[in-house]
Amino acid sequence: MKVELLSITPDPERVIELAARTCYQSVDRMNEATLGHLLAKLLMSGHESPFEHAYATFRISGCSRAMTHQLVRHRLMAVSQKSQRYVSEKSFEYVIPPSVPTERVEEFKNDMETIRQMYIKWKNAGLRNEDARFVLPNACATEIIISANFREFRHIFKVRCSPHAQWEIREACMFMLKELNKHAPHVFGDLAANLGVEN
Ligand SMILES: Cc1cc2nc3c(=O)[nH]c(=O)nc-3n(C[C@H](O)[C@H](O)[C@H](O)COP(=O)(O)OP(=O)(O)OC[C@H]3O[C@@H](n4cnc5c(N)ncnc54)[C@H](O)[C@@H]3O)c2cc1C
């Protein structure tokens, strides 16, 4: 799996502080020293709407559709994903869960090959991509672009970086948290520290 940060609001913490200070008409009191303090206060008090003014976009590729099926449940996130209607899966790639024992990896690969042959069989029988895909596995590799504001990213990280989350979505979200924490440590630092994310 590859996770890449494609874009981010320039100077995101300043934008958030400016939005918050507009509420209190205290923009004139903005300076380097106040930044972290104010953002921490916002988070503590639950005044989270200013965090919606900063945005980030990631590309996640080489991940499974099992993972993206969970990710796209986050409704406040914008999503564009590789289509299985417009793109043939005749040569689909797939993700092998690390829990598959090493000595059985070949068996897993053979199963994927069997499914590929099933897909091709139904394509050759005249089914369109949109119907031939019914035989495809959750392991099928995909590519997805996601965008969300920082408030939503915080929510996603809280539920998806948990040790109880599924390993693949956790891996993707831990990477995104690490990346966003580099750009906005006063927004994501508490989550990163709790989860042991190191920059
Ligand atoms: C550990 C775990 C197990 C899960 N298991 C299952 C499962 O077995 N089956 C299943 O179907 N799903 C499951 N889910 C998915 C889960 O139910 C949510 O759909 C998913 O986590 C998206 O979260 P959300 O709705 O909080 O967030 P988002 O859609 O990202 O929304 C963010 C927040 O905005 C608010 N919000 C958004 N839309 C609405 C709305 N329409 N009304 C009110 N408030 C709204 C809520 O406060 C919400 O928390 C699981 C999730 C987790 C983390």
Q: How confident is the model over 61-101, as pLDDT tens digits?
A: 999 999 999 999 999 999 999 999 999 999 999 999 999 99
| Domain 2-80+141-195 class, CATH top level | alpha beta
User: How many Cβ atoms sit within 10 Å of the Cβ of residue 132?
Assistant: 22
Catalytic site residue from 65, 133, 151, 160? 160
Domain boundaries defined on the chain: 2-80+141-195, 95-135
Mutate to test the pocket of ligand 1, among 159, 160, 168, 169 (most ligand atoms within 8 A of CB): 159
The pLDDT of residue 25? 86
Please check whether residue 149 is in contact with residue 53, taking contact to mean a CB–CB distance below 8 angstroms: yes
Most informative mutation of 51, 68, 70, 162 for ligand 1 (most atoms within 8 A of CB): 70
Residue in the structure block whose two tokens are 């918050």? 20
Distance from the alpha carbon of residue 73 to the mean position of ligand 1, in angstroms: 7
pLDDT of residue 32: 75
Q: Which residues of the chain fall below pLDDT 70?
A: none
Q: Residue 34: what pLDDT?
A: 75
- For residue 157, CA distances in Å to 2, 102, 117, 151, 164 come to 18, 31, 38, 10, 12
